[in-house]
Structure 1
Amino acid sequence: MKEFDAIIIGFGKGGKTLAADLAKRGWTVAMIERSDKMYGGTCINIGCIPTKALVYQAKFATRLKDSSFEEKAEFYRQAIAIKEDVTGTLRNKNFHNLADDPNITVYTGTGSFVSPEVVAVQMKNERMELKSKHIFINTGAETVIPAIEGIENNPFVYTSTSIMEVTGLPRELVIVGGGYVGLEFASIYASFGSRVTVLEGFPELIPREDRDIAEEVKKALEKKGIVFRVGAKVQSIVNTGNKASVKFMDTRANVAFSLEADAVLLATGRRPYTTGLNLEAAGVKIDDRGAIIVDEHLRTTQPAIRAIGDVKGGLQFTYISLDDYRIIREDLFGNKERDQNDRLPVSYSVFIDPPLARIGINEDDARKQNLDIIIKKLPVAAIPRVKILGETNGLFKVIIDKKTNKILGCTLFGPEASEVINLVALAMKADLDYTFLRDFIYTHPSMSESMNQLLS
């Protein structure tokens, strides 16, 4: 049995950053990663980096709208190759950033607890046991596979991970799930030239957003040719030999329908990945959603073991995992002032085209709380910068507390929204009045200067 100062299970953002930090402090660290295709974690390999690489290439693909499907498919094949090159380069860099450090040992295998201080690693040809008083779980999340007849071993059914490994562009793509992941992939593949249908089980699209924002998103995506079917309960996905037949019920009209597709993408959510960890042996408990239970400093029910990132539930973003590292760093070596409650509010972006970004509460939330608010809206078409970009779809919206002049929330749907939202986040974190952003001097022409108009 080998002993280390720290064991980290999972090569994700928070875990790899923590490993490098601990190594610099002279700690010996064991990094366990179950797949050599996942060095660096979800974001680099199967999440934000590859999808955003395709988002970027898809914008160029829109110029091929009058080209043949074969020409579009060839461009898509090249885009997948570019995506593979990007992820491969980053994966290799991340591996060597840790593996080349004399204080870090990388084990490629599956980790499982033997006791609160011992982790077994099952590698390809060997099983080892490692011991440490400090263990960190950073195993991420996995795709939720719904109980739909015909999914198992169906070659036409994909997850958000597996579809990006396919080099052929599907002519007909059906996406099961109209949440943020489903919309991102719908936008990407429609831009490349696929005919996309989104089947959403709920009676409305993206229900956590205000209806005016959701309607703008729907209109922009429908301009790409995407068809939305809400209230659609998928019953089966049948392999017909050369296609998939998707059978679903329109729950509003109580009528059955079927669609043929070259590919079916399951975009039905993600859940914490704890399979095979044997958490019971370590005394680590999970909640009713399968997430590891942690306190404000990310300690599990076994205090010497902590959880980082998606595996503990909550917001599933790379930057949250990175901030988890900061909380642990300050708790171990700092003044212990940082905790999970310290980072709110947190913004998020959905990389459809154009992107959707939000922070704080929306109008519906504010109304339900009976808050006295000011609502300000700005059609994206009114922003000078978009005339240059040629992208006029979208709506910017902000919610302001009438009594305090503080920004309660902001939703931006338009070009460069994922960048501009950070300005609003900074103002909210600094507890500044909305007038600070309203009267600030921005460069021109820029999307940032839209704050002058939006908040006027």
Structure 2
Amino acid sequence: MKQYDAIIIGSGKISETLAIKLSGRGWRVAIINPIDKTEGEDRQDLTDSLHSLAYEAEVASLLYYDDYPKQAKIYKQAITRKDRLSFFLKETNSDKLKRSPNVAIFIGDASFTSRDTVKVTSGNDYIELKGKEIFIHAGSAPLIPPIEGIETVENAYINHEILDRNELPKHLIIVGDSYAGLEFASMYANFGSKVTILESKDRFMPFADRDVANYIKEVITRNGIEIHLDAHVRSLLDTEDGIELTYTSLSGDNPKILEGSAVLVTTGYRPLTDTLRLYVAGVKTNVQGNIIVNDQLRTNTPHIWALGTINEGFPLSPLLQDDVRIVCDQLFGERTRSANDRSPTPYTLAIDPPFAHIGINEEEALKKGHSIIVTRLQASTVTHSRILHQPDGILKAIINHQNGRIMGCTLFCANAPEMINIVAMAMKKEQHYSYLRDFVFSAPSMSQSLNDLFKI
């Protein structure tokens, strides 16, 4: 049995970055990569790919709006560039890993045989590894809903699978209005596809305030995206021209048929914990199978940690990257950094225009009984949005009436992913809203809109 200071279960950027950090400290590290890497989706890679294609789609829309043949050609080129970007990012980290001493890579399926021993199985062969610290980053896989035909039809795709196809679908049907679903919808609509979203809930963007969600729905509908709520997909069938989909309301009444080129399913993820035999190591999971961790990312078995989308935290890309920082501080630093330090954390959606949010929204604040001030600003009133030819959008902020601190902010406008970081820093430093109201920003810029948003 081989012994290591650390065993890392799972592939991807987090595993490789952690291995490099630990190796730099003189630790002997074993990484266990799964045989089938397509099973555990690298969420960071998907995020990078979607944002890259979203940018290319906006360019395609400006150059060749309503010209499908030319947009299809650009889409094919964009997929090639996306693949190059993905390869570059993976190789960059992989090269660093190869140059790191004391790192051994094993290919196989991991499972616990004791609290500190992991078995790596590949076919009929296996090896057991013993580790002082064990880090689980096995990731997650797309959740496949129980739809008749989904496993057999040729033109149905699950999340990242469609990005391996370089043919632009003329009509893409998206099942689910999750974060990724909205990003895919916006991107493909800008590339020139007809896009239809089928959402089983009766509420569009349930995570957002109704005024913001309704405004976003209005904008993306204007951009050619159809949205059907309370739409429960029952079956899929391949046709000569693509695919046929049948859906009903929740009650099952009034079945309707949609025909499209392809169907994209974006209905969530499941953690890849079922084959790890976590019970042998005494590691607890929640009902969904996510590993339960404390604010230091440790499981109830202290020397076993869970990082990334496999634990029960919110799977935002910035948080995934921060997991390594928390682990290294706990092992080598002052042990003061924890998951509690990063709240509130901004998140973004690569739609058109982009969406960004931090903190709580108006509905949440009122439910909690806060006395608040709500301020809104139409993006069309911002000079720089006109310069960028992106006048659509709305900006909204929630302010504590008692102390003047910013409790939350939603930006649906050009440059929102950059601007939200300014608001985030003001919130983390517990600044009064007047700090942003009176701040001198570079001009012309979208950041200047924060002066007006907080002008109460």
TM category, shorter: over 0.9
- Alpha-carbon displacement from aligned partner over 1:347-369 (angstroms, at most 9, x marks no partner): 11011111111011101111112
Is 401-410 or 119-128 further displaced after alignment?
119-128
SS at match of 1:50: helix
Measure the CA separation in 1 of the matches of 2:363 and 2:235: 35
List aligned pairs for 1:134-145, cutoff 5 A: 134-145=133-144
Measure the CA separation in 2 of the matches of 1:93 and 1:266: 31
Cα 1:406/1:228, change in 2 over 3 Å? same
In structure 2, give the amino acid aligned to 1:416: N
Measure the CA separation in 2 of the matches of 1:184 and 1:438: 31
Match of 2:191 in 1: 192
Residue 64 of structure 1 deviates from its aligned partner by 4.2
Measure the CA separation in 2 of the matches of 1:124 and 1:385: 59
Residue 127 of structure 1 deviates from its aligned partner by 2.6
In structure 1, give the amino acid aligned to 2:249: D
Residue 17 of structure 1 deviates from its aligned partner by 2.4
Q: Using structure 2 for the length normalisation, give the TM-score.
A: 0.95
Measure the CA separation in 1 of the matches of 2:336 and 2:245: 52
SS at match of 1:5: strand
Residue 121 of structure 1 deviates from its aligned partner by 1.9
- Alpha-carbon displacement from aligned partner over 1:39-87 (angstroms, at most 9, x marks no partner): x971453x11111111111011102445642222111111110101111
Q: Structure 2 unaligned segments of length 5 or more: list them.
A: none
Q: Using structure 1 for the length normalisation, give the TM-score.
A: 0.95
Q: Structure 1 unaligned segments of length 5 or more: list them.
A: none
Measure the CA separation in 2 of the matches of 1:3 and 1:197: 53
List aligned pairs for 1:126-141, cutoff 5 A: 126-141=125-140
- Alpha-carbon displacement from aligned partner over 1:20-48 (angstroms, at most 9, x marks no partner): 1111111011112225867x971453x11
Contact 1:99 / 1:105 at 8 angstroms: preserved in 2? no
Contact 2:142 / 2:270 at 8 angstroms: preserved in 1? yes
The answer to whether structure 1 residue 286 and structure 2 residue 288 are counterparts is no
The answer to whether structure 1 residue 206 and structure 2 residue 205 are counterparts is yes
Match of 2:3 in 1: 3
Measure the CA separation in 2 of the matches of 1:149 and 1:119: 38
Cα 1:447/1:79, change in 2 over 3 Å? same
Measure the CA separation in 2 of the matches of 1:335 and 1:72: 53
Residue 447 of structure 1 deviates from its aligned partner by 1.1
Match of 1:454 in 2: 453
Match of 1:274 in 2: 273
Measure the CA separation in 2 of the matches of 1:117 and 1:68: 59
SS at match of 1:337: coil
Measure the CA separation in 2 of the matches of 1:352 and 1:43: 17
Match of 1:445 in 2: 444
Measure the CA separation in 2 of the matches of 1:207 and 1:305: 35
Measure the CA separation in 2 of the matches of 1:252 and 1:341: 42
Match of 1:370 in 2: 369
SS at match of 1:111: strand
SS at match of 2:159: coil
Match of 1:154 in 2: 153
Cα 1:211/1:44, change in 2 over 3 Å? closer
- Alpha-carbon displacement from aligned partner over 1:259-281 (angstroms, at most 9, x marks no partner): 01111000101232224212122
List aligned pairs for 1:23-422, cutoff 5 A: 23-34=23-34, 42-45=42-45, 47-66=46-65, 68-123=67-122, 126-251=125-250, 254-422=253-421
Cα 1:406/1:28, change in 2 over 3 Å? same
SS at match of 2:434: helix
Cα 1:123/1:88, change in 2 over 3 Å? farther
| Count of matched residue pairs | 455
In structure 1, give the amino acid aligned to 2:378: P
- Alpha-carbon displacement from aligned partner over 1:370-412 (angstroms, at most 9, x marks no partner): 2111111000011111111100111000000011001010000
In structure 2, give the amino acid aligned to 1:436: Y
Contact 1:396 / 1:414 at 8 angstroms: preserved in 2? yes
SS at match of 1:374: strand
Residue 100 of structure 1 deviates from its aligned partner by 2.4
Report percent identity of matched pairs: 41
Measure the CA separation in 1 of the matches of 2:115 and 2:20: 23
Residue 285 of structure 1 deviates from its aligned partner by 1.6
- Alpha-carbon displacement from aligned partner over 1:253-309 (angstroms, at most 9, x marks no partner): 942211011110001012322242121222212111211011222111221111011
In structure 1, give the amino acid aligned to 2:391: T
